[in-house]
Amino acid sequence: MARMLFRIILLAVGLGAVEIGLVGAVGSGALLGWLTVVIGLALIVAGSAGFMVPLLGGRADEEGEA
Partner 1 sequence: MGFWFSSEFAATLPLLGRLYIAHIMILPTLGTLLLVAHFLLVKRHGISSRPTEADAALEGAPAPNPGGSTFSAHGIRMVGFGLVVLAVSIALTLIWPPTLGPQPVPGEEVTKPPWMFLPIYPFEDWFGLAALLWVPVILFAGLVAVPFVDRSPFRSPRRRRALIAIGLFVAAALVFLGVLAAFTTPQTHLTGS
Annotate each residue in 3-22 with x if it binds partner 1 (CB under 8 A) or - if it does not, as one string: -x--xx--x-----------
Integer CA distances (angstroms), 42 to 16, 17, 38, 59, 66, in order: 12, 10, 6, 22, 30
Smallest gap from residue 2 Cβ to partner 1 (A): 10
Nearer to partner 1, 32 or 45 (CB): 45
Backbone angles phi, psi at 41, to 5 degrees: -60, -40
Residues in the chain: 66
- Residues in contact with partner 1 by CB under 8 A are 1, 4, 7-8, 11, 48, 50-52, 54-55, 60-61, 63-66
